[in-house]
Amino acid sequence: MKPAQPSTSDTPDVIVVGGGIGGLSTAFALAREGLRVRVLERAKEFGEVGAGIQIAPNCTRILHEYGLLDEAKSLGVLPENMVMRDALDARELTRLDLADLERQYGFPYMVIHRSDLHGIFLRACRAAGVELVNDQAVTGYEQTDGGARVRLADGRTEEAPLVIAADGLHSVARRDLIGDDVVSSEYVAYRAAVPIDAVRGHGVAEKDVTVYVGPRCHFVQYALRGGDMFNQVAVFRSPKASAGRDDWGTPDELDAAFEATCDTVRKGVPLMWRDRWWQMLDRDPVENWVHGRIALLGDAAHPPLQYMAQGAIMAIEDGWVLARHVARLRAEGGLDWDAALAAYEAVRVEHCRRVQTTARAWGELWHLEGGERLRRNAVLREVDPYGYAFTDWVYGPTALFPDEEPAMFAPVPLASARLDEPSAADTPATADAPSVADAPSAAGSAR
């Protein structure tokens, strides 16, 4: 579909604060509807920091609608399987056949470098006429009679009928409008993307996404950029964070966290970048994303822990949903921003709340130890790899209205596990132990 041409007024129809994946994808979605969009980005250049990112069928479906899926395929990798293994003994726990997953949902599961996905949306925005402005630090937000206004660090203000705050986990808008704090999981992530030759001989599965789950740690591996690069993510709970120290998640903790893991994981740990790491933070779900003509979007609205690999996807879905409601209202007689924002909030809040809370539970499940680890493993081995009851709610078509949101799955309690190991049978499951089905099968690998 050829994007509609933006309007020619000097004042934009929409200001998007933040030029990450969420901000750019939303700007593109709205520009396709003929709106004049201005993106204000704090950094001096547009870009993304990080390594690999996973994009599930609920996202590749949107990329297809945007006409961007073929470009994404050319830059990414379509893995064959999603495999979960125990990090201590490397035994397989469960898997998804991703070719069958594509048949189920109509669109593929893909892995891609974060900067490549960001570049796709950046080029799309330029082609659609989005105004992209760098070195613009937004320090505050306020309402106007006909819209909203942003205050910039240099003292200027800019306004539009709608301001979208896509300014991330540490959002200025979230601080001003809601005022809550980030929540620390006490886990930290290390990442690395290395030439594929650096890991050949480590026992890696080049054509799969593999996640090794272990006591208070996990390790993710998959190929990038046509198989020429290999992405690894090491996540562990920091003893320093648990002790209340500020200097937590340091490289010495990384090495200690994976000492008891299997050979493939231990061989991968020395390749991790050691000059940077990411503390795993989220926020509690909130219901009020829209404040007058200021709307939170992406991580500003619903920052998740990474276990379901849905953070960037949810931001892309946010923009798609808002743009679809803009198109719908125009077709019904005229664009009413208040109605569009109400419809956006009505459907997205509940879906993203589910993802946020499920991601927290999934993290607990991955990191179990002792008898609960063995019970988890036993239950996961019983999961039907070709049954999609645990994934339909998240990988199916993105809902536009609340009544289109799929029902959640039925949890499977760990206490139901059938165990052969005497040591596990002698270890009672706690009453508040997580359920295996508190998250979708093996398909929620942290980025």
> What is the C-alpha separation between 93 and 70, in angstroms, rounded?
33
> What is the C-alpha separation between 53 and 112, in angstroms, rounded?
5
Residue pair 254/261 in contact (Cβ under 8 Å)? The answer is no
> What is the C-alpha separation between 440 and 225, in angstroms, rounded?
26
> What is the C-alpha separation between 186 and 69, in angstroms, rounded?
36
**Residue in 222, 344, 388, 395 annotated catalytic:** 222
**Widest distance between CA atoms in the chain:** 73
Residue pair 43/135 in contact (Cβ under 8 Å)? The answer is yes
- Going by C-alpha positions, the residue among 13, 185, 210, 243 that lies closest to residue 92 is 210
183 contacts: CB under 8 Å, gap ≥ 6: 281, 282, 283, 284
Q: Exposed, middle or buried, 146 (CB in 10 Å: 0-12/13-18/19+)?
A: exposed
> What is the C-alpha separation between 345 and 326, in angstroms, rounded?
13
> SS3 sequence, 429-447?
CCCCCCEHHHCCCCCCCCC
Residue pair 443/96 in contact (Cβ under 8 Å)? The answer is yes
Residue pair 54/316 in contact (Cβ under 8 Å)? The answer is no
Instruction: Give kind and range of the element (H or E) at residue 222.
Output: strand 217-224
Instruction: Give kind and range of the element (H or E) at residue 7.
Output: none
> What is the C-alpha separation between 58 and 161, in angstroms, rounded?
30
**What distance, in Å, lies between the first and last C-alpha atoms of the chain?**
31
The backbone torsions φ and ψ at residue 276, rounded to the nearest 5 degrees and listed phi first, read -155, 145
> What is the C-alpha separation between 380 and 261, in angstroms, rounded?
19
Residue pair 258/217 in contact (Cβ under 8 Å)? The answer is yes
222 is catalytic: yes
The alpha carbon of residue 362 and the mean position of all alpha carbons in its chain are separated, in whole angstroms, by 14
> What is the C-alpha separation between 85 and 221, in angstroms, rounded?
11
Residues annotated catalytic, as ranges: 222
